[in-house]
Structure 1
């Protein structure tokens, strides 16, 4: 019999695994309007709100930082990202399809998906509060991306943030300790 956490992870991954076998045709980023895009860091992309994936069949999916399991986690949904927030509150949409990191992924089949969970506990409390910290998406060409509910500032990792970070290579993910099995 599966443990409650295992069941929760399976249920969390089930809708995301709908992406397996699909191909991305377009990518949009949503962040605070600073007057110019600030998401394109050297080693990763840094987003205030989230990422929208438009698939080759025109279905739309998105990842945002959410609060389904804890205050800040990775939330995934099928549908319109603007149901989560509006562009009237200073949100700016940027198309990232032509960014060098995405050009190798556009049109490639998604071959695998895995979530990585973490937990927090109150001081002097044994109870662990589990949540999805990272999601890894594999592509048929061997490339991978990690989507994580954390922020990287001045090479420092700040976990559990109202922020998403997207990593495009395993070395960078390892450097920032993204995609590490903390549970299960």
Structure 2
């Protein structure tokens, strides 16, 4: 079982690893249009839809909450994020390049990618259902960021959500149990 899961994880991470060696020039967040941005929390960024990364070679990549492995997981794709949802359906785009948490990462080459997986089981069933919960991206300047399919409400962690949380430091990631190696 571990070998099959390792293969599944490698298959998931390989497309994301295309980001290694690239530098980000633009970052766009997509969330429900509440009339004003609500993504900018003190410790993290909280997104209803997803995050789009534009690299120095003008390629676009995105992370959204998806359903490839389980009800809510972290989905990664290359291309236009608007193939997943539309602005007409209430998504609002925010360019966040000038946000303080991103200014140290814009222009830095990505040096590493790693995913953390979780699992769930039905009551009275031994079968585990595995899914990507978090993706950690490391930059050449030693900074890291995590993208997680969880939501933080009133300081409480709610996993496997139709939501993404973006964290920019290890202390905050540890506080909210993001990036923990649960499997393999």
> Normalized against structure 1, the TM-score is what?
0.99
Give how far 1:143 is off: 0.3
State yes or no: 1:55 paired with 2:55: yes
State yes or no: 1:6 paired with 2:11: no
Q: 1:177 maps to what in 2? A: 177
Question: Moved runs in structure 1, 4+ residues, more than 2 A?
Answer: none
Find the aligned partners of 2:127 and 2:133 in 1 and give their Cα distance.
Answer: 18
Give how far 1:2 is off: 7.0
Give how far 1:138 is off: 0.1
Query: Would you say how many aligned residue pairs link Structure 1 and Structure 2?
Result: 184
Q: 1:113 maps to what in 2? A: 113
Q: 2:133 maps to what in 1? A: 133
Q: 1:25 maps to what in 2? A: 25
Find the aligned partners of 1:155 and 1:65 in 2 and give their Cα distance.
Answer: 20
- 1:35-184 equivalences under 5 Å are 35-184=35-184
Aligned CA RMSD, in angstroms, stands at 1.0
Find the aligned partners of 1:67 and 1:2 in 2 and give their Cα distance.
Answer: 22
Superposed CA offset, 1:114-143 (max 9, x none): 000000000110000000000000000000
Unaligned runs of 5+ in 1: none
Find the aligned partners of 1:13 and 1:150 in 2 and give their Cα distance.
Answer: 19
Give how far 1:40 is off: 0.1
Find the aligned partners of 2:5 and 2:36 in 1 and give their Cα distance.
Answer: 41
- What secondary structure is seen at the aligned counterpart in 2 of 1:107? coil
- What secondary structure is seen at the aligned counterpart in 2 of 1:58? coil
Give how far 1:3 is off: 1.1
